[in-house]
C-alpha cells in the first residue's frame, strides 16, 4: 500500500459528473491521497459514487443556472468545508462547480486550486449574457492556481479570449479529463447473437445502416441539424436508421418543435432514452453522428472509436483532435445540415470507405487515450505540486 501524501477534494456541479465523468479516477487517486468528492445533493447517485470509488462524499447544493442567492450559499458551504478539511488540492470540473469552488478555495487559503475546463458553454452566448459569462470565467481563472483545458483547441480558445495567462494553462497527456477504458469499451464483448437480439427489439433489420447519436437532446449538440439531415437521407435511403441515446433538456436548451415532431413521428428514428450502458447501442451501429456546436473533449467520440465505430464530427476542439480526416472518421463544418447530409450519404454508399475507417477507429483510441495513461499523467501533475 502506497503511503497517502495529502488530501484532495474533487468538486463537480452534479453527482452524475462525479461518478461518470471521473469514473474510476477517484478510486485510483485514493491509493495515493485521501480523496473527498463534493457535488449537489442526490443521495442515490452520491451514495453510489462513494461506494463505487471508495471515497467520502459531501453533498453541497449547486445549480447549473445563474442563481446568485443559491450560488453565494454554495460558496459559503464550500468555504466552511475547505477550512475544516484543509485540503492540499481542490480540483474542480464543470463550469458552475469551478466558479464556486475556486472562489471558496481561494478565500479558504487552499494552496493548490485546480480547475479542468471541458468545454465552454459561453461560446454560444451573445450580448449581455456573454459579457456576464466572460466576467465569471475570468474570476474563476483568477481564483485558480492552475487551469487544465482538456483539449489543445480549448487551450487556444482560452488564450484567444485572454481569460488567463499562458503560465496558468496546461493540457495533460493528449487531452481528455479521464481517458477511456478500452477494455470496457471493446466490441469483442458483444456477440452476433446479442447484437441481433437488440436489433430485433428495436425493429432494426440486418441490412439497415445505423447512425447513432449519444448525448443530451439539445440544440448545442446539433440535434436540429442531425434530424434535418437524416430526414433528407431517409427519404432517399429507406435502409437508414438513426438511434438516439440520451434525454431532452427542454428547460435549459430546447429543440425546435419540428425537430421533436420528426423524432416522435419518423419510424426510422429510434429514441431509447438515457442508458447507463451505451455499449450495446454502439455494438449494433455503423457510425457515430455527433454534430455538436462545442465540446471540451467528448467521451462519446472516444467511446464510439474504442467500440470500432468511425465518426462524423464537427470541426470543433476535442472532436477534431480525436478524429483525423479519412483515418477514423470525417470532420464537417459546424451547424451545416447540408455537410452532415453529404457525409452521412457517403458513409452509407461507400462500403470500402467506411470499412477502411472502421479498421483504424479502435487502434487510434487505444494508442492515445487509454484511461490509465491519462490517470498517471494527472497523478504526476499532483505530485509535482
Q: Say which CATH number the domain at 325 has.
A: 3.40.50.2000
Whether 167 and 224 share a structural domain: no
Sequence length of the chain is 385
Query: Would 143 be classed as within a structural domain?
Result: yes
- For cell 447473437, what's the residue? 193
Whether residue 161 sits in one domain with residue 218: no
pLDDT at 119 over 80: no
Contact by Cβ (8 Å): 365, 170: no
2 in any annotated domain: no
Do the beta carbons of residue 74 and residue 40 sit within 8 Å? Answer: no
* 168 and 200 belong to one structural domain: no
Q: What is the pLDDT, as a whole number, of residue 181?
A: 94
My answer on whether 29 and 132 are in the same domain is yes
All 3 cell numbers of residue 163?
Answer: 481569460
Domain that holds residue 38: 7-179+371-384
* 20-40 burial: b if 16+ Cβ within 10 Å, else e: ebbbbbbebbbebbbbbbbbb
Count the domains in the chain: 2
Q: Pick the more confident residue, 296 or 234.
A: 234
Q: Are residues 72 and 195 in the same domain?
A: no
Same domain as 247, residue 108:
no
Task: Indicate whether 227 belongs to any domain.
Answer: yes
User: Is 1 contained in some domain?
Assistant: no
Indicate if the pLDDT at residue 340 is higher than 80.
Answer: yes
Q: Identify whether residues 337 and 292 lie together within a single domain.
A: yes
Provide the pLDDT confidence category of residue 263 given band limits of 50, 70 and 90: very high
Q: Is 217 inside a domain boundary? A: yes
- The pLDDT value recorded for residue 65 is 84
Question: 230 and 144 in one domain?
Answer: no
Q: Same structural domain for residues 204 and 248?
A: yes
223 and 174 in a single domain? The answer is no
pLDDT tens across 147-197, in order?
Answer: 999 999 999 999 999 999 999 999 999 999 999 999 999 999 999 999 999
What is the percent of the chain with per-residue pLDDT over 90, rounded to a whole number?
A: 88
Please state, in angstroms and rounded to a whole number, the distance separating the CA atoms of residues 203 and 165. Answer: 54
Tell whether 173 and 206 lie within a shared domain: no
Amino acid at each position: 500500500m502506497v503511503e497517502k501524501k495529502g488530501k484532495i477534494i474533487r468538486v463537480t456541479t452534479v453527482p452524475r459528473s462525479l461518478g461518470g465523468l471521473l469514473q474510476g479516477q477517484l478510486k485510483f487517486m485514493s491509493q495515493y491521497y485521501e480523496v473527498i468528492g463534493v457535488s449537489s445533493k442526490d443521495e442515490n447517485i452520491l451514495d453510489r459514487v462513494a461506494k463505487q470509488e471508495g471515497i467520502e462524499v459531501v453533498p453541497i447544493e449547486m445549480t447549473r443556472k445563474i442563481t446568485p442567492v443559491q450560488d453565494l450559499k454554495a460558496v459559503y458551504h464550500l468555504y466552511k468545508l475547505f477550512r475544516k478539511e484543509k485540503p492540499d488540492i481542490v480540483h474542480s470540473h464543470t463550469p458552475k462547480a469551478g466558479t464556486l469552488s475556486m472562489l471558496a478555495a481561494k478565500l479558504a487559503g487552499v494552496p493548490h486550486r485546480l480547475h479542468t475546463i471541458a468545454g465552454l458553454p459561453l461560446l454560444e452566448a451573445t450580448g449581455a449574457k456573454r459579457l456576464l459569462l466572460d466576467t465569471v470565467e475570468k474570476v474563476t481563472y483568477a481564483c485558480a492556481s492552475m487551469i487544465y483545458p482538456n483539449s489543445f483547441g480549448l487551450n487556444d480558445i482560452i488564450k484567444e479570449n485572454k481569460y488567463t495567462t499562458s503560465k496558468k494553462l496546461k493540457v495533460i497527456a493528449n487531452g481528455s479529463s479521464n481517458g477511456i477504458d478500452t477494455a470496457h469499451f471493446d466490441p469483442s464483448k458483444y456477440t452476433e447473437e446479442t447484437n441481433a437480439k437488440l436489433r430485433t427489439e428495436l425493429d432494426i433489420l440486418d441490412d439497415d445502416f445505423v447512425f447513432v447519436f449519444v448525448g443530451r437532446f439539445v440544440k448545442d449538440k446539433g440535434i436540429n441539424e442531425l434530424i434535418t439531415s437524416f430526414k433528407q437521407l431517409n427519404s432517399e435511403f429507406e435502409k437508414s436508421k438513426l438511434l438516439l441515446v440520451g434525454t431532452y433538456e427542454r428547460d435549459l436548451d430546447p429543440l425546435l418543435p419540428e425537430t421533436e415532431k420528426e423524432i416522435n413521428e419518423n419510424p426510422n428514428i429510434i429514441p431509447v432514452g438515457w442508458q447507463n450502458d451505451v455499449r450495446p447501442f454502439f455494438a449494433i451501429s455503423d457510425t457515430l453522428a455527433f454534430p455538436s456546436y462545442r465540446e471540451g473533449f467528448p467521451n462519446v467520440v472516444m467511446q464510439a472509436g474504442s467500440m470500432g465505430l468511425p465518426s462524423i464530427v464537427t470541426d470543433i476542439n476535442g472532436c477534431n483532435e480525436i478524429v483525423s480526416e479519412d483515418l477514423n472518421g470525417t470532420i464537417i463544418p459546424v451547424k451545416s445540415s447540408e455537410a452532415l447530409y453529404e457525409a452521412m450519404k457517403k458513409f452509407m454508399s461507400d462500403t470500402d470507405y467506411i470499412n477502411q475507417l472502421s479498421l483504424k477507429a479502435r487502434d487510434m483510441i487505444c494508442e492515445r487515450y487509454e484511461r490509465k495513461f491519462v490517470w498517471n499523467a494527472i497523478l504526476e501533475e499532483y505530485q509535482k505540486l
